[in-house]
Amino acid sequence: MLRKNLRLLAIAFSEEDEKFLYSEITNIHVYKSINNLSDMRSAVWGSDWDVILFNHDKSFLDYCTVLNVLKESGKDIPFIIYSDVSDEDTVLSALYSGVHDYVHKGNAFYLIHAIEREIRNAGIRQTKAKADDQISYLAFHDVLTNLPNCSLFSDKASAMLSRLVESDAIAAMYLVDFDRLPYINSIYGSSVGDRLIQQFSQRLSAFSNENCLLTRIEGCKFAFINANVIDAESVQDFANRIIKLAISPVAIDNLVFYLRLNIGICVYPANGENIARLLANAESTLSNTRYLWKNTCTYYTKEIEVAAIKRSVLEISLRSAIEKNELLLHYQPIVDLQSGALSGVEALVRWNHPEFGLLLPEKFIPLAQEIGLIIDIGRWVLQQACRQAKLWHQTGYGSLSISVNISAIEFDQIELVNSISQVLAETGISSGLLELEISESTLMRDAETSTQILQALKDMNIKIAMDNFGTGYSSLRYLKHFSIDILKIDRSLTHDIIIDPDSSEIIAAIIAMAKNLDLSVLATGIETKEQFDFLHHLRCDRAQGFLFSKPMIAQDMLHLLTQRKTGTLA
Ligand code: C2E
Ligand code: MG
């Protein structure tokens, strides 16, 4: 059935052909008969047609000319020859040239079918072309901001730099990041975070032009390569202009956000001769400013370069650290404050680096998180810690709990639950003795996923501790929301409890609140007898710190456990 209101353009049709058309095709809405080239050209360019019929028997032009006009117009209109001549050679060469169909005159049934089919095919082609356009746009643009993505940015920026080589000019790479996105995502949801990124991107876009290219790297981190700069002063001027953008707050619905930026800057060609190097060096510079968040900019220096080289050496060696047996665990006792007994241990990973010696986690865990190795390291730690705990249990310390730190990336994987149940099955330790320590900021990042994973772990009877409590943004509401068993108060809070009345009041309030919520409290960083007495008095459940013991190797721990049989640690 032919579509209603068919828009049909007929070329070189005789009166007899037209009569035939009208008698057979009743739903023609617009019909135009053309008899010369310029009318044909303006008809194709000027109006939309569903189909073009061409009678080439006595035509003023050949079908190749019509096909060329169609090609030039960029329109995909079904083009059908309607002709008396239908020998095989003519038909085949027309079809090879791009004519969609060839219909012998007077065959109304075939003509109607050919029109129907070719309109349908053109529709399919157009939908596919749109999808292809969309796909190629998405391949080179950031969906959230519509900015060129890193790959397109790098191509354009490289072309820009190669133009600069001839003129000996400079350019500056600016990596711009602002601090509050994880917090905003966790408190207001990622849709608010996304809109913040969009608004910030619009502000930055005001500076982009042919010689100043902008892209979004990830989250709220953007990069500019600016070839409009000529000297140190103009490099700094541009940074100042970006910083000024942060002064006016961003409003989303009725929320108002104040931005705090950091900018890492490096200059072409002095600090890097290609885009990848400049981006990497700007990144090392930016990571040096990570804790400043003062609307400030930092320039790439030799020291940053040395640190970046050390980092890349670490990165390469970290990849083989597990298989080379370079990782080890230290264990720190956890003491029951009321009985003084050693109730458990926390496993803390170390890396025995062949060149740099024994490295503490702060030197390599952030790197492992960045390069994704934390999944393997986390699994190794869990396996080792559970195996070790099982040995202690078998030696007669059957109620000793084992605490393992879980980082944000591990916690994002639902796979974590399978991995833990495998380790439990393999080592045979009781799940009730395993305590997983998850930092406050990790739990708050994606409250919805956190709740699901926590529930799955709870169903396995594993204890969950919120680690580093007091360093993030937790509210009481969230503490209730997550099914947490233990609150681990960060040592930055316990540090001043004796000398600072505010700190002692905060700790007293936290312990009281935790009791109300039926949470067990573990205070960390206990270094003095005074801190111990204070916490004991507040009926804090457990404690950990250098007062009792520093982290130690498994053998020393066994020694301590043996000693404990004749006394307590406290
Ligand atoms: P954390 O979970 O808060 O671990 C406690 C850290 O505090 C340990 O540092 C420990 O040595 C230190 N500490 C304990 N008592 C005291 C004290 O009385 N005074 C002082 N000044 N410090 C004390 P460490 O071993 O350097 O670990 C640092 C962080 O590295 C850990 O903090 C944890 O977040 C992370 N980490 C350690 N092992 C692992 C691991 O296997 N996986 C993951 N994902 N993270 C780990
Ligand atoms: Mg911990």
Q: How far is the CA of 346 from the centre of ligand 2 (A)?
A: 7
Pairing mode, strands 296-299 and 261-268: parallel
* 511 Ramachandran zone, left/alpha/beta (phi>0; psi -120 to 50): alpha
Q: What is the pLDDT of residue 559?
A: 92
Ligand nearest to the CA of 524: 1
Q: How far is the CA of 350 from the centre of ligand 2 (A)?
A: 14
Testing ligand 1's pocket by substitution, the residue of 335, 365, 416, 544 carrying the most ligand atoms inside 8 A of its CB is: 365
Pocket test for ligand 1, best of 331, 384, 388, 405 (most atoms within 8 A of CB): 405
Pocket of ligand 1 (CB under 6 A): 332, 348-349, 360-362, 365, 378, 381, 405, 407, 437, 467-468, 491, 524-527, 544-546, 551
Distance 437 CA to ligand 2 centre (A): 6
Ligand 2 centre to CA of 143 (Å) is: 38
- The closest of 530, 529, 506 to 521, measured between CA atoms, is 506
Domains located in the chain, CATH noted: 6-139 (3.40.50.2300), 150-300 (3.30.70.270), 314-562 (3.20.20.450)
Question: What stretches of 470-554 adopt beta strand conformation (E)?
Answer: 486-489, 520-523, 542-543
CA-348 nearest atom, ligand 1 = 38
Which ligand gives the minimal distance to the CA of 328? 1
Q: Among all ligands shown, which has an atom nearest to the Cα of 377?
A: 1
Full DSSP string of 93-155: HHHHHT-SEEEETT-HHHHHHHHHHHHHHHHHHHHHHHHHHHHHHHHHB-TTT--B-HHHHHH
- For residue 381, the ligand 1 atom closest to its alpha carbon is 41
Indicate which ligand has the atom closest to the C-alpha of 494. Answer: 1
Ligand 1 atom 41: the closest Cα is on which residue? 349
Which ligand is in closest contact with the Cα of 523? 1
Which residue's CA is minimally distant from atom 14 of ligand 1? 545
Atom of ligand 1 nearest to the CA of 407: 44
pTM above 0.85, yes or no: no
Provide the 10 A C-beta neighbour count for residue 437.
Answer: 21
Query: Which of 494, 488, 521, 524 is CA-nearest to residue 506?
Result: 494
How far is ligand 2, taken at its centre, from the CA of residue 406, in Å?
A: 8
CA nearest ligand 1 atom 7, residue: 525
Q: Which atom of ligand 1 is nearest to the CA of 368?
A: 44
CA of 280 to the centre of ligand 2 (A): 31
Give, for all 570 residues of the chain, the pLDDT tens digit: 666 778 989 888 888 888 888 888 777 777 777 878 888 899 999 989 999 999 887 667 888 998 999 999 999 999 999 998 888 898 999 999 999 999 998 888 899 999 999 999 999 999 999 999 889 899 999 999 999 999 999 999 999 999 988 788 999 999 999 877 877 887 888 899 999 999 999 999 999 999 999 999 999 999 999 999 999 999 999 999 999 988 888 899 888 888 888 999 999 999 999 999 999 999 999 987 766 667 889 999 988 888 888 888 899 999 999 999 999 999 999 999 999 999 999 999 999 999 889 999 999 998 898 888 999 999 999 999 999 999 999 999 999 999 999 988 888 777 889 999 999 999 999 999 999 999 877 776 666 677 788 889 999 999 999 998 887 665 656 677 778 899 999 999 899 888 888 889 999 999 999 998 899 999 999 999 999 999 999 999 999 999 999 999 999 999 999 887 644 555
Please, where are the H alpha helices in 168-229? 181-188, 190-205
Residue nearest to atom 35 of ligand 1 (CA): 361
Ligand 1 atom nearest the C-alpha of 524 is 15
Centroid of ligand 2 to alpha carbon of 550 (angstroms): 14
Relative to the alpha carbon of 491, which ligand is closest? 1
Q: At what angle do helices 554-564 and 374-394 cross, to 10 degrees?
A: 30
Q: How far apart are CA 433 and CA 453, in angstroms?
A: 19
Tokens of 398: 């059957």
Q: Are 266 and 301 in contact (CB under 8 A)?
A: no
Cβ atoms of residues 262 and 293 within 8 Å = yes
- CA 285–ligand 2 middle distance (angstroms): 29
pLDDT given for residue 563 in this prediction? 83
**In a mutational test of the pocket of ligand 1, which residue from 322, 334, 346, 348 has the highest number of ligand atoms less than 8 Å from its CB?**
348
- Determine which residue's CA is closest to atom 15 belonging to ligand 1: 545
State which ligand 1 atom lies nearest to the alpha carbon of 361: 30
**Residue nearest ligand 1's atom 38 by CA:** 348
Residue 187 has a pLDDT of 80
d(CA 142, CA 132): 17
Q: How many CA atoms lie within 13 A of 327 on its CB side?
A: 28
How close is the Cα of 472 to the center of ligand 1, in Å? 17
Residues forming beta bridges with residue 330, ordered by sequence position: 348
Distance of CA 467 from the midpoint of ligand 2 (Å): 6
Q: For residue 450, what pLDDT is reported? A: 75
Give the C-alpha distances (Å, rounded to integers) separating 104 from 55, 58, 81, 107, 262.
10, 15, 8, 6, 73
**How do strand 221-226 and strand 171-178 relate by DSSP bridges?**
antiparallel
